[in-house]
Amino acid sequence: MVAAKNGHVLVVGLLLERGAAVDRTVIKTQLYEDWTALMFAASGGHDVVVSILLDMGASVNIGHLDKTALTLAIKYENPLCVRQLLRAGASISPDDLKMAFELSVGELAVIREKGTALASIALSLLPVGLLILLAVEPWSTKNHELFSAATRSQAVEILRLGYLLADTSLFEGESRAILDTWRDNIMPHLYRR
C-alpha cells in the first residue's frame, strides 16, 4: 500500500508478482480506514499503478465509509484514474455524482472562458466532473469507451446485429435510417451504468 500510495510502479509490480494480496486493506489509522492499494493509487493520481492493480484483479468497488477508488480519484481530480476505473466497471455512487456535478460547474466555466466548444474536446481530455457526467448517461458512441470491457464487447455485437438487420432486403433503401435508429434509440436502452 505504501508503494501504491507513492506511485512506485516497479515495487508494486514486484510485490504483486511475489504474491501480495491485491485487495488487502490497511488496518485502521487516524487518516485511513480500510483503504486498498487501488484506493491509495487512485487518490494519488498514479494511473500506471492503478493499471497494474486492475490488471492483477483489484476489485474496483471495494470501499468503506462511502469511499471507493473512484470516489477518491474524483475527489483528487485524477481524470486518467477515473477513466481507468470506469472502464474496469466501477460503480458511480450518488455522492460521486454530486461531487462530479459540483466540479463540472467550474470546469464548464473554464471551457467557456477559453471559447472552446464542449463537443470538440476529446474524451481523453475531459476533466473529471464532465467525464463522470458523461459516464452516467445511457450508452452512446460518445461514452462507449467509459463502459466496462464486457459491456463494450456486448455493445459491439449488438451494433453488428443492427448492421445485419439494416442490410436485409426488408429495409432496402432505408438501411442508413434503420441503423441510425438502432444505434441512437435502441442501444441506449440496453446499456446503462
Domain-located, residue 141: no
Domain-located, residue 142: no
Domains in the chain, number: 2
C-alpha Rg value of the chain to the nearest Å: 20
User: Distance (Å, rounded) from C-alpha 57 to C-alpha 38?
Assistant: 10
Give the SS3 label for residue 25: strand
Banded model confidence at residue 31, pLDDT cuts 50, 70, 90: low
pTM of structure: 0.85
Q: Rounded to 5 degrees, what are φ and ψ at 68?
A: -125, 175
**Cell numbers at residue 18, please?**
511475489
Continuous H helices in the chain: 2-5, 9-17, 37-44, 47-55, 69-75, 79-87, 94-114, 128-135, 149-166, 175-181, 187-190
Domain CATH number, residue 31: 1.25.40.20
Q: Count other Cβ atoms within 10 Å, centred on residue 186.
A: 14
pLDDT score of 28:
59
Domain-located, residue 144: no
116 shares a domain with 153: no
Mean pLDDT of the region 125-129: 89
Banded model confidence at residue 27, pLDDT cuts 50, 70, 90: low
**Which pLDDT tens digit goes with each residue over 94-119?**
999 999 999 999 989 888 888 887 77
Domain that holds residue 173: 149-190
pLDDT score of 30:
54
Cβ-contact 62, 71 below 8 angstroms: no
